Amino acid sequence: MSSESARHPAPQYEEEQYELSEDGRLLQPKLRYSTSYKDGASIDWLQEEMVERDHQQALKSQAGVRGILSPVFDAARGWLVVILTGMGVGIAGAWLDVLVKWLGDLREGRCSYGFFYNQVACCSGIDPGEICYEWKSWSTYFGFHSIFGSSLLQSFVYVALAIAFAASAAVLVVAYAPYAFHTGKIKAILGGYVLDAFLSPWTLLIKALGLALAVASGLSLGKEVHSSMFFTHSTTQSQHAQGPLTNEASKRRILAAAAAAGVSVAFGSPLGGVLFGLEELDTFSNESEVMWKGFVASAIAAVALQWVNPFGTAKLVLFQVTYVDNTWRARNSLIGDWPILEVVCMSAVTAAVSYLVVFARAQSSELVANLFQECDPSKGDYHGLCNPTASGQNIFLLVLTAAMKFVLTAWTFGMMVPAGIFLPTIAIGACLGRAVGLITQSVYRLYPTAWVFLSCPPDPSVRCISPGFYAVIGAAGMLGGVTRMTISLVVILFELTGALSHVLPIMIAVMTAKWVGDAHGTDGIYAAWIAMRRYPWLPPVDFKDTRVATGENIMKSVDRLVKIEDGAVAVGELG
């Protein structure tokens, strides 16, 4: 007890002081919250809730108009933070998407009339399938005409820029912000763990730059970040912060709402963001309050994202559908002592291997968008994906891409670069799902009258099997198995794709994936990461006791109670 107390001394709480008028009436209290926690400690939830209740009672007990207006103004501070957070994360997330897209396209070429235009902006106004002459590959830009010379230059620039981007991201994280390399701490922070350094402005800046570089390098990782929580944390750390902005329990309710806004921006899924905050992140807070604040923050963030329009479609959806034994070894391996070298080597391997497989060469967001898309002559053919004569080749390449991304993601997730798990997991599932869809489509063309296809028209030329739909189902199953998310995942995916009619099959895929995953362990990727990093976090436990008991059976009599005052005795003195 003594050593633990020395490491994490109990926080000191100052009592509230009030001003009294000459006739003894209670005036505006001087509310001071001196609760202070160091990084690595856990907040006292009961104490924080009591402090908040006392604070609200003190505001309401004031005489006259102050007793009415003070609680309103106090609550307005929290809502103002929620609104500003939604606006800030929507705009910041949109520009991060633009930066990632530009850096990723830079590996393959540049726009002839503007260096800072990505390929979509450079080729705007051109119909799908039409050649864009304004976008120049590096071999064309430097005047290489031979096939060998062009291929050699393109592959060299592709791999070299990938290594440069990944190495830069690793240097930024290792040298300037070690807390910026992962997002798994958010769940522990919302559970009461104190880690202010993770939410600092400097960490956010390094994480945003590092994430853009890491994603653009082609590493198998996603781009969900904690920038939304930074906006909230910065406001609550202000010297002018009062009321709910200084109470640690209230602060975490607002942080949970901010995290929901982050998911809303990362995937264009406002409702899914709210459900994600309830299902995956927040554990101890009032669910109705978190849901309402998260809904407001997510809606505002989505509006800000659509206003900036980073996807160039004036739509919110990202991908539109138109029809733990080895953790110790990894943590203690020799390469773990050289994190920058690990990132450089991994980026070189990823770029070299990905360049050889056409589907792995593209960024994950572009790959998923095309896998979810149905074949339409007016929209072009993505690397022959819609060519019926190349179905066997496409199936092989899709399975190979999924296997490559599976291995690369397993290694990349946890390196010293900012990383998310959603997008690469969706890409793996989409590749496998599209492959299954192509197999089913090929079987239908060979045996259109088989009993399995009785609901389809007998003419094989009429579309019946939708490979893009299979890709969505595969993505849902893969992500559900990795994260163990259920309701929020279904909502995120149908908002992500705009495929409302596909909700029931998505639900079945997620349910099946969770059953299979739970058979091998109930922890999702976030809980596993928290356990590996040894962060203090209490998972939700379903306690059910069907025994009938009276108050006498549960409570203890007064003569059996022992009163122990804080700091009065040590463990050895209890005898």
Structure-token pair, residue 273: 């963001």
Longest dimension (CA), the chain: 96
Task: Please say if the pLDDT value at position 239 is more than 50.
Answer: no
Backbone φ and ψ of 229, nearest 5°: -70, -25
Can you tell me the mean pLDDT for 336-344?
Answer: 82
**CA-based R_g, the chain, Å:** 27
Q: What is the pLDDT of residue 6?
A: 40
Of 67-81, 388-402, 546-560, minimum mean pLDDT range: 546-560
Counting beta carbons within 10 angstroms of the beta carbon of residue 408, is it exposed (0 to 12), middle (13 to 18) or buried (19 or more)? buried
Query: What does the block give as tokens for 134?
Result: 């304004």
Please report, rounded to a whole number, the percentage of residues in the chain having pLDDT higher than 90.
14
Under the banding of pLDDT at 50, 70 and 90, the label for residue 244 is low
pLDDT given for residue 118 in this prediction: 86
Quick: pLDDT tens for 343-385. 899 999 999 999 999 899 888 888 888 898 888 776 767 777 8
Q: What was the pLDDT predicted at 165?
A: 94
- pLDDT confidence band for 575 (50 / 70 / 90): low
The answer, yes or no, to whether residue 10 has pLDDT greater than 60, is no
- 413 vs 99: which has the higher pLDDT: 99
Give me the pLDDT at residue 261, please.
Answer: 85
Encoded amino acid at 151, one letter: S
Q: Tokens for 442, please give them.
A: 């090929």
Q: What are 48's two structure tokens?
A: 């924080």
Q: Is the pLDDT of residue 436 over 90?
A: yes
CATH number of 327-339+352-533: 1.10.3080.10
In terms of C-beta density within 10 A (0-12 exposed, 13-18 middle, 19 or more buried), how is residue 521 classed?
exposed
* Cα distance between residue 412 and residue 126, in whole Å: 36
The Cα-based distances of 37 to 14, 179, 225, 562 in angstroms read 14, 18, 24, 29
Q: In this structure, what token pair is assigned to residue 245?
A: 């902005």
pLDDT score of 327 more than 50: no
Structure tokens at 259: 């995290």
Buried b (16+ CB within 10 A) or exposed e, 164-173: ebbbbbbbbb
What's the rounded Cα separation, in Å, for the pair 225 and 227? 6
**519-542: average pLDDT:** 72
Tell me the pTM. Answer: 0.75
The per-residue pLDDT for 430 is: 94
* Backbone φ and ψ of 109, nearest 5°: 170, -165
Strand, helix or coil for residue 357: coil
- Kindly indicate the confidence band of residue 53, based on its pLDDT and cuts at 50, 70 and 90: confident
Check residue 414 and report its DSSP letter. T
Q: Mean pLDDT for the chain?
A: 78
Confidence of residue 335 (pLDDT cuts 50, 70, 90): low
Choose among 251, 258, 219, 252: nearest CA to 93: 258
Q: How confident is the model at residue 243 (pLDDT cuts 50, 70, 90)?
A: low
Of residues 540 and 99, more confidence is placed in 99
- pLDDT at residue 326, as a whole number: 44
* pLDDT at residue 405 in the model: 94
Winning range, highest mean pLDDT, from 86-95, 181-190, 457-466: 86-95
Domain boundaries, the chain: 327-339+352-533
Instruction: Give the closest residue to 475 by CA, choosing from 371, 366, 360, 362.
Output: 371
- Residues 87 and 94: their CA atoms lie apart, in Å, by 11
At residue 13 the predicted structure's pLDDT band, cuts being 50, 70 and 90, is very low
pLDDT at 285: 64
